Structure 1
Amino acid sequence: MDQRAELSEFLRSRRARLKPADVGLPDFGRYRRVPGLRREELAQLAGVSVAYYTRLEQGNGQNVSAEVLDSIARALRLSETERAHLTHLAKPKAKKRRAAAARPQQVRPQVRQLIDAMDPVPAVVLGRGLDILAWNRMARALLGDFAAWEPQERNMARHVFLDGNARSLYRDWECKAVEVVSVLRLCAGCYPDDLRLSGLVGELSVKSEEFRSLWAAHTVADKGHGVKRLNHPLVGDLDLAHETLQFPDDHDLSLVTYHAEPGSRSAESLRLLSDWGVEEAADAGSR
């Protein structure tokens, strides 16, 4: 990906979303020619010259200091995740990132044993670019038969946008789509030289109008925690809390788990789904 273009478009998009009133500036309404703040206004708020900020917004961020980036981030009201994304775009760690992007990601046998031992808690290991690298029995029963997918198709973004089953599985599909694109955008900022990631973004842009629209918004987010609202074809509606845990020796790998509130209807549905999975495995073994 073109790092300079990404930096330019990200800064433009963040500037456009701010209204003068948001930062205490007068708003001349219909007499304003541009959405959001002008470059001059943003530069004033950040305490830098207009020429300096203009060069940065044109993608020339190689010599910008951390202090200036911090000032611009404050002026743009960036979140912590957006600040990190801005830093990756303006001051990429090229050699380190290229080396990491060139290495295929591996899941240690001990991690696979761990997620199997977590059953009946659904657990999946996601890699760089939301690749689905490992899963346990319950994750497969809950989210999809990953084992039946071709290896190159085992990716959460591809699942959400190209798998027709995803639209019925996620009751709030639109929210899930925004979340996936935002995480993918953050990853792309960290690894602009990852050819597989660039190929994924290109494929999704060609095949999904929704993805193209969301990608153009330049939203970024990290994997975290929250609630997933599912409509499972076997057990119906589920409200599941999800947690994301990073591995200390590889921050590009994350363990995502799903659980229901004890005693809830969703907990009972998960139990039924687990029992069904055990019976299915037993039937398959007796054939």
Structure 2
Amino acid sequence: MEGEVGDFLRSRRARIRPEEVGLASHGRRRVPGLRREEVAQLAGVSVDYYIRLEQGRGPSVSDAVLDAIARVLRLDETEHAHLLTVARPRRQRGRQRAAADRVRPGVQTMLDGMERSPALVLGRRMEVLAWNALGDAVMGFSRMAPAERSMPRQVFLVPAGRDLYPEWHAVAAQTVAHLRLSAGRWADDPELCALVGELSLKSEDFRRLWADHEVKECAYGVKKLRHPVAGLLTLPYETLSLPAAPDQTVVVYTPEPGSETAERLALLGSWESSGAAR
């Protein structure tokens, strides 16, 4: 993602008001937020050095400098880690890319053992690599073409996505923020670049959200789904990273036992297994 470090830094300094960092806000400003020379001054580096960093010409920049800039721009932990990644991108080996699309049989067995919880595995592009029976009952992955098994495509390119997610705007923003984080980690992945290009071309909502440069690690949370048969499902979720496949993430939805959602999922699972859905 060429220019990522500069775009990210410009977006972060645009949201900081001078008075927030102890600077007087005198005169007319052509751009919102902090000027480049102000960030450089507060971080203790030369203006030329900071400009070169924003231009992507600072591959040997130290942790200390990036830490200082992160402090000035008030980056949270995820944003700070993203800055470290995009400021010093590393090329990934082809073997790692090839392995990213395969899920080990043991992982699939683990998913299948989660009979009361919808579960799936996402790849680095938020593509769905594997799922269990209840996950399929909720999302219908087995009835999709392989290219459609993509969370970003489902959110932005499938019209039914807005009906599936009652809180669509929050889901859309979260999806883009997570995809942006992945794009920083895997900057040389051609399929990831192609996905971002496709979404940018076809979705105005995606273009707008992508331009915000928000980054977020979706480690846990609650997602609401409106299923055509089961109705409204309120699904807390947890994510697990696989040490043997660091670009794969297991997502497990964990409805509260005895809740209305748990009961609806149990009925949906029985309905699917009986063949009534086919």
2:187 aligned to which of 188, 192, 195: 192
**Aligned equivalent of 1:24:** 22
1:210 pairs with 2:208: no
How many residues matched? 278
**Unpaired runs of at least 5, structure 2:** none
Q: Would you tell me which structure has more helix in proportion to its own residues?
A: 1
**Aligned equivalent of 2:222:** 227
8 A Cα contact 1:123 1:139, kept in partner: yes
**Aligned equivalent of 2:42:** 45
Q: What is the alpha-carbon distance in structure 2 between the residues aligned to residue 21 and residue 101 of structure 1?
A: 46
Change (3 A) 1:103 1:250: closer
1:81 pairs with 2:74: no
Shift, 1:52, TM fit: 1.1
- Aligned Cα root-mean-square deviation (Å): 1.7
TM-score of the two chains, using structure 2 as the length reference: 0.94
8 A Cα contact 2:123 2:129, kept in partner: yes
8 A Cα contact 1:98 1:194, kept in partner: no
8 A Cα contact 2:126 2:152, kept in partner: yes
8 A Cα contact 1:20 1:26, kept in partner: yes
Shift, 1:99, TM fit: 4.9
1:34 pairs with 2:51: no
8 A Cα contact 2:78 2:216, kept in partner: yes
Shift, 1:26, TM fit: 2.3
TM-score of the two chains, using structure 1 as the length reference: 0.92
Which amino acid counterpart does residue 17 of structure 1 have in structure 2? R
Shift, 1:61, TM fit: 2.0
8 A Cα contact 2:37 2:47, kept in partner: yes
**Aligned equivalent of 1:9:** 7
**Unpaired runs of at least 5, structure 1:** none
Shift, 1:102, TM fit: 4.8
Q: What is the alpha-carbon distance in structure 1 between the residues aligned to residue 108 and residue 78 of structure 2?
A: 29
1:141 pairs with 2:137: yes
8 A Cα contact 1:225 1:241, kept in partner: yes
Q: What is the alpha-carbon distance in structure 1 between the residues aligned to residue 219 and residue 201 of structure 2?
A: 28
Pairing 1:1-287 to 2, within 5 Å after superposition:
1-2=1-2, 5-28=3-26, 31-94=28-91, 96=92, 99-142=95-138, 144-280=139-275
* 1:238-284 deviation per Cα after TM superposition (whole angstroms, max 9, x unaligned): 21101000011111111101122222222222222222222226x86
